[in-house]
Amino acid sequence: MSNYDKIKIEILKEIKNKVTTLVFQNIEEKIKKELNIMEEVAGINGKNNLESFYDIWKRNKDKEGIKNDINSFTAWGLGLTNKEPGADQEFLPKRRAFARAGFPDVDTDFDDANRDEVYKYIIKKYGRENVGNIGAHGMLKFKSCVTRVVKALDIADAWHKGRQDFISENVMKVNEILFPFPKGGSVKITDENGEMQHIKTVGDAYKYSPDFKKYMDMYPNIYKYSKVIQGCFSDFSSHAAGIVISNCPIKTIAPLRTTRKGTLATQYSGEQLEDLGLIKFDVLAISTLSVIKRTLELIKNNYDINIDIENISLDDEDTFELYRSGNLSGVFQCEQWGMQKTMVEIGVDSFADIMAAISLYRPGPMQFISSYCNRKKGDEEIDYFHPTIKPFVKKYLEETYGICVFQEQIMQICNDLAGLSITDGYIMIKAISKKKKNLMKEFKKDFVNGCVKNNVPKDVAQKYWNDFITPFASYGFNKCLSGDMCVKDKYNDSIYTLSELKNIYDENENNKIYLDSYINGEVVEDLLIDVFETGEKDIYKIEMDNGMIIKSTLNHKFICDDNKEHTLKEIINKNLNILFY
């Protein structure tokens, strides 16, 4: 008997004891139908909706509500509400949709000249009240914190001079304090040791900029209050392209608020709206499409040639030669130098290569680019990690030389190798990419157990999860370090060895430790989600120019002066310079 069947029996038994025999006979079939509907739909948190309903009942067994918006005989029979549902009304009205196991990402691209026309059409078709912009909350970053605190404390002592002088003199003081930092969004400065530092917090600025530290020591309240307010919500705007469409007024589902531009937007984020059962659509304005449209018009006008852009050849050798040359300025998604170099290294000779390169060139899968190139050229043997795993994954990875390139491959592998459903595979990818620790641990356990059932040794399954599944889905690269390596929590400055961290995480999974990670050329805040053992390996000592000693294995990756990741083995063989460690 399945767990779902046990839940159903328990609920039916409870209701039978609570209501009269006649009432139970009248509502029994309706309750069974409701329970079946809940069983069929998986929630976005990875839990079946029947299980979620059961948990709600158990937590609120002695409480009675007064509403019954989902028109449930089950909730009424259990005593969760005193409002009896209407006999002729539908259980779970359509506007109250279940949160399903993840929604598709619906991205639609239009040329930037006509994007607004598409938006107007959507409003006209579905109704102004049923179409909503998705709200976005801005957070106070360190420059904004300093600016607001300076004005609030009137550091320039200009309040008595009138509004205009108060504003202008405090702005001058702000500019004076923030002078060491370049203007713009990303703030990078060179510290006293000549190293580039990414400034994200007031604490970072105080640590790495002597000039800023001097002002903070002079005005300690600026430093004190700036640290308090950094990270707080500062303003409300709307998502650049995201909208939601409903079959009922958005205001009945989510609170709305007017942005500075006068448009109405939901106060819930896209992820929260998804939890409520709404699908987010990105109606994107792509300037490249306008360029293509204009190019076709010019070719027609100047050469009288009609080109059917929807049916162009996907195996044109001249186009592949262009990609192999790396001269791709202005080519959509290939504007960055790193992407252009990747196309050259791969040696594009098919449309599949272009798709693979674009998919691999992002945090996580990026570390596999060199292997993809080497395997394609025959310089590296194509393997599938372990003989016991190969029969399950080869059919999905053969086309990409044993390298996982697309999310669908991960979902198919989890399904075939570990017995997870395709839906669970999708939830798992989202859990890893969003670093949801509890879900990740749950899926890791299910994945390893499923592999063991397919005669994959447990240690191999664990290593496959750590070295293959997680790096692809995550936004951070996989480092292999020695147990006595120290890391520092960026918020409380606590220093831990990796061995200590492993014990901390084994004892309490709710610990939250934030580190600085180097991703896509920038230092970004990264939540540590797990520490695990990868076995015994040879450790090498690396002495840096500043005297720092780093210990690592040969397969540990460092950012080098070509702005790419290389293993220590590659760095030694190619005599590369380490840029970031």
- Give the pLDDT confidence of 98-123 residue by residue, as tens digits: 334 556 668 888 888 888 888 889 98
pLDDT at 541 over 80: no
Q: Which long-range contacts (CB under 8 A, 24 or more apart) does 268-276 make?
A: 268/135, 269/134, 269/135, 269/136, 269/137, 270/134, 270/239, 270/242, 270/244, 273/134, 273/244, 274/44, 274/99, 274/103, 275/44, 275/99, 276/97, 276/99
pLDDT at 519 over 50: no
pLDDT at 528 over 60: yes
Residue 540 has φ and ψ, to the nearest 5°, of -120, 145
Contact 414, 393 (CB under 8 A): no
- Give the pLDDT confidence of 4-14 residue by residue, as tens digits: 888 889 999 88
Least confident segment among 35-44, 56-65, 78-87, 141-150: 35-44
CA angle 74, 80, 83 (to 5 degrees): 80
Contact 245, 251 (CB under 8 A): no
* Residue 344 binned pLDDT confidence (cut-offs 50, 70, 90): very high
How many CA atoms lie within 13 Å of 396's alpha carbon, on the beta-carbon side?
Answer: 20
Contact 547, 555 (CB under 8 A): no
- Give the pLDDT confidence of 199-226 residue by residue, as tens digits: 888 888 888 888 899 999 999 999 999 9
pLDDT at 309 over 80: yes
The number of helix segments (H) and strand segments (E) in the chain equals: 24, 17
Least confident segment among 109-113, 123-127, 480-484: 480-484
CA–centroid distance for 301 within its chain? 45
- Give the pLDDT confidence of 90-99 residue by residue, as tens digits: 676 543 333 3
Mean pLDDT of 545-564: 69
Mean pLDDT of 550-578: 75
């001269």: which residue's tokens?
327
Least confident segment among 393-397, 450-454, 515-519: 515-519
Element (H, E) at 273: helix 270-275
Mean pLDDT of 558-572: 74
Residue 581: partners with Cβ closer than 8 Å, 6 or more residues away: 542, 544, 550, 558, 559
- Give the pLDDT confidence of 271-280 residue by residue, as tens digits: 788 878 888 8
Mean pLDDT of 542-547: 66
Instruction: Compute CA distances 165 → 143, 169, 172, whole Å.
Output: 21, 6, 10
Mean pLDDT of 45-60: 78
* Residue 450 binned pLDDT confidence (cut-offs 50, 70, 90): very high
**Percentage of residues in the chain having pLDDT higher than 90:** 20
**SS percent in the chain: helix, strand, coil, step 5:** 50, 15, 35
Q: Which of 166-170, 525-529, 546-550 has the highest mean pLDDT?
A: 166-170
- Give the pLDDT confidence of 151-200 residue by residue, as tens digits: 999 999 999 999 888 988 999 999 899 888 876 555 777 777 777 777 88
pLDDT at 546 over 60: no
């669970």: which residue's tokens?
424
Residue boundaries of the structural domains of the chain:
3-78, 106-140+234-288, 142-231, 536-581
* Residue 559 binned pLDDT confidence (cut-offs 50, 70, 90): confident
User: Residue 521: what pLDDT?
Assistant: 44
* Residue 349 binned pLDDT confidence (cut-offs 50, 70, 90): very high
* Residue 520 binned pLDDT confidence (cut-offs 50, 70, 90): very low
User: Residue 274: what pLDDT?
Assistant: 80
pLDDT at 144 over 80: yes
What is the chain's mean pLDDT, rounded?
Answer: 80
User: Residue 536: what pLDDT?
Assistant: 57
Q: Has this prediction a pTM greater than 0.85?
A: no
